[in-house]
């Protein structure tokens, strides 16, 4: 049961991110807190998170967004949803506001990029499919194991729904990527289930996947321990982090507890081999793997430069430059 609290947004709607992969275009969160309820979500540790089972909906987001864009000398090329919440949470008020904002941005010739593990409503899917050149999609799917998904992503869409969404987006020529993040050590990283997952993804027509392993912060550690409910699974997952060290991520003043470098390299090598088998490209984000990664997971998609008439002094601003896709070697 999710409690929805309605609030007026006081801060700006379009906000920057310190993560390299999100630095090219502005971002929007419709809520504080997320009803998808992923127990590994890094945003659970944010000071403004309202707590489990609570979502704060910023009801004036569209009005503030209209006002912000009206004041800008140059509009952004695209906007990303969302750094710490899912735009397609299973909450009618959130889905309706999300649709209104997507519709407004697309009507202004502003592109939209999103990552979701939710069910995209039919009317919103039609809107996205009608604007393939203005949409960049990533669908998150870490496993086909329903038991594990019920534990780690309790309110996410089923694997079948997410695969169908990938297929529909690809079928309409919407650039779409599958996001296998996080990989759960000892639970979702075995070759056989990964092979089945990648076969399912490849069957949708998706040809690019991104990945990263699970990184732990104290609040995530405690929530997983309380939620996993199966001692063997808990010992398997947490046992993988024995001797793990804290590493910085590419965001200011931020660090996480990571699997050993050797374990992460082994996982990514396995995924890379399986991806090649199924005709998929693999990217590993260096934001979360600064010690071994290079390039970007391309979470916001690739966007062409703005027309010269929309640039300031003939030069696009940093957040409006095209995102460079760098696949792992």
Instruction: Give the model confidence (pLDDT) of 140-178 as tens digits.
Output: 999 999 999 999 999 999 999 999 999 999 999 999 999
Looking at the predicted structure, is the pLDDT value of residue 252 above 70? no
Whether 61 and 81 have beta carbons less than 8 Å apart is answered as no
Q: How confident is the model at residue 290 (pLDDT cuts 50, 70, 90)?
A: confident
Q: Tell the CATH topology of 11-302.
A: pyruvate-formate lyase- activating enzyme (3.80.30)
What percentage of the chain has pLDDT greater than the value 70?
A: 86
**Interval 171-223: pLDDT, tens:** 999 999 999 999 999 999 999 999 999 999 999 999 999 999 998 888 888 88
> Where is pLDDT greater, at 263 or 252?
263
206: tokens are: 């998706």
pLDDT at 325: 35
Whole-model pTM: value is 0.89
Looking at the predicted structure, is the pLDDT value of residue 320 above 60? no
Q: Which among 257, 231, 238, 243 has a CA at the least distance from the CA of 186?
A: 238
Q: How confident is the model at residue 227 (pLDDT cuts 50, 70, 90)?
A: confident
Strand order in the sheet with 3-7: 3-7, 54-58, 31-32
Q: Which residues pair with 5 in a beta bridge?
A: 56
Looking at the predicted structure, is the pLDDT value of residue 329 above 60? no
**Interval 235-248: pLDDT, tens:** 889 889 988 888 87
pLDDT at 178: 97
5: tokens are: 């609290």
Strand order in the sheet with 78-81: 27-28, 78-81, 111-116, 135-140, 176-183, 208-213, 281-284
Looking at the predicted structure, is the pLDDT value of residue 289 above 90? no
pLDDT at 295: 62
Mean per-residue pLDDT of the chain: 87
**Interval 59-83: pLDDT, tens:** 999 999 999 999 988 999 999 998 8
pLDDT at 316: 38
pLDDT at 28: 95
Looking at the predicted structure, is the pLDDT value of residue 321 above 70? no
Q: How confident is the model at residue 260 (pLDDT cuts 50, 70, 90)?
A: very high
Q: Which among 139, 108, 128, 130 has a CA at the least distance from the CA of 14?
A: 108
């Amino acid at each position: 049961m999710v409690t929805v609290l309605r609030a007026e947004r006081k801060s700006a709607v379009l906000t920057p991110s310190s993560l390299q992969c999100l630095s090219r275009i502005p971002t929007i969160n419709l809520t504080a807190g997320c009803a998808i309820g992923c127990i590994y979500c890094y945003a659970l540790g944010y000071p403004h998170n309202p707590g489990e089972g609570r979502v704060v909906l910023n009801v004036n987001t569209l009005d503030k967004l209209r006002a912000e864009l009206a004041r800008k000398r140059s509009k952004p090329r695209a906007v990303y949803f969302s750094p710490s919440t899912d735009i397609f949470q299973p909450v009618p008020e959130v889905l309706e506001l999300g649709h209104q904002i997507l519709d407004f941005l697309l009507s202004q010739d502003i592109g939209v990029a999103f990552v979701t593990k939710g069910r995209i409503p039919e009317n919103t899917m039609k809107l996205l499919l009608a604007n393939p050149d203005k949409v960049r999609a990533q669908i998150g799917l870490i496993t086909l194991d329903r038991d594990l998904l019920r534990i780690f992503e309790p309110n996410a869409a089923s694997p079948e729904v997410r695969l169908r969404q990938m297929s529909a987006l690809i079928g309409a020529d919407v650039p779409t990527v599958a996001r296998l993040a996080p990989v759960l050590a000892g639970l979702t990283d075995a070759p056989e289930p990964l092979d089945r997952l990648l076969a399912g993804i490849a069957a949708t027509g998706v040809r690019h996947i991104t990945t990263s392993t699970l990184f732990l912060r104290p609040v995530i550690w405690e929530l997983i321990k309380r939620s996993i409910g199966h001692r063997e699974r808990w010992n398997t997952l947490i046992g993988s982090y024995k001797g793990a060290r804290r590493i910085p991520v590419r965001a200011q003043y931020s660090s996480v507890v990571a699997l050993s470098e050797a374990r992460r390299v082994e996982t990514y090598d396995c995924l890379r081999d399986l991806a090649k088998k199924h005709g998929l490209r693999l990217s590993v984000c260096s934001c979360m793997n600064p010690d071994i990664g290079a390039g970007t997971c391309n979470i916001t998609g690739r966007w062409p430069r703005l027309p010269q008439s929309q640039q300031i002094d003939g030069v696009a601003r940093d957040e409006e430059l095209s995102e460079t896709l760098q696949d792992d070697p």
